[in-house]
Amino acid sequence: MSDLFDVDGANLDRGFQNLKAAESRIDQQLHAMLQEMWERYEPYADPDFRQGFARDVDGRFWEMYLGCTLLEAGRALLPVVERQREGGQPDLCVLDVGRRIWIEAITPDEGAPGPDQVVRPVPINEGGGLFAVPMRQAQLRTSSAFWTKAQKIGRYLEQGVIAPDDTRIIAISTSRFGVYVAEQPLPLIMTTLFPIGDAYITIDRETGNLLEEGFHPAPFIERERNPIPRTAFLDERFADISGVIWSRISLGNLSRRVRPITYVHNPLAQTPLPTNWGVWDREFVTTPQGDQWEANDILAQAAAAEA
């Protein structure tokens, strides 16, 4: 078994360097945790994983975290010795009752400088103050990540790497800007893949009673150039994507109570993943209701029914 941190060279991630040196107590704890995770995940990781981790801790941690989560849930992963050597494959492959579930992971960054970038707030003690949550920018970064991986999965299908009957999932981590993104009333991924805009409530001024609540329709995400559609999961062009895993989990906050793992089913998927597959904390299923669509967290419904 190799040492995850036994990597040297140029362009090493500063976070990797700090974790490798492990001078603080927190870094020592994280170092030990990551090495333990690596011992479980190494048989399934690409040969260049350690080099990639040393230069992109957040991105490769998300992949390894998913792999370990699936293994802990009793899922079987395709070992690296049985993976295709030439041309590449998705990051993870789950072997599940005679079928394969392919997972392509990505951790988008904050984006290029400009009005569409997710900008970190200036601390108050450094002259900062109140600022608007960069929701639009986070949606743009998430949409871009989805598009990038959807194109890659399309190529894998064309090349025969992924079989037509295989399930294919995109796993998006917003850990790099997750602190600015709320989970409620809906996770960011729902307002990225579906035309769901800002939440609203209507209150009776006389009685103070709640009359109505919901979301404004919003088919586009505005950006500096032309706006982009937020209708991927209502678009047949993306029917080859079975669903999306989404989470804000990061090395800085591993609490799944605060940062749950969410799975969003594609209602148009050619090869859907069965519901209640048993690995997620939230699971959204969208169904047609007349000329509209209704989305529900089926795990929350089940928990409420049991309460």
Tens-digit pLDDT profile for residues 55-83? 999 999 999 999 999 999 999 999 998 87
pLDDT value at residue 307: 52
- Average per-residue pLDDT in the chain? 91
Q: The whole model's pTM is what?
A: 0.93
pLDDT value at residue 126: 74
Q: Which of 22-26, 167-171, 182-186, 264-268 has the lowest mean pLDDT?
A: 182-186
Residue of 120 and 2 predicted with greater confidence: 2
Phi, psi of 58 (to 5 degrees): -60, -45
Tens-digit pLDDT profile for residues 86-104? 668 999 999 998 889 999 9
Give the mean model confidence (pLDDT) for residues 155-183. 93
In the block, residue with structure tokens 């799975």: 263
pLDDT value at residue 198: 86
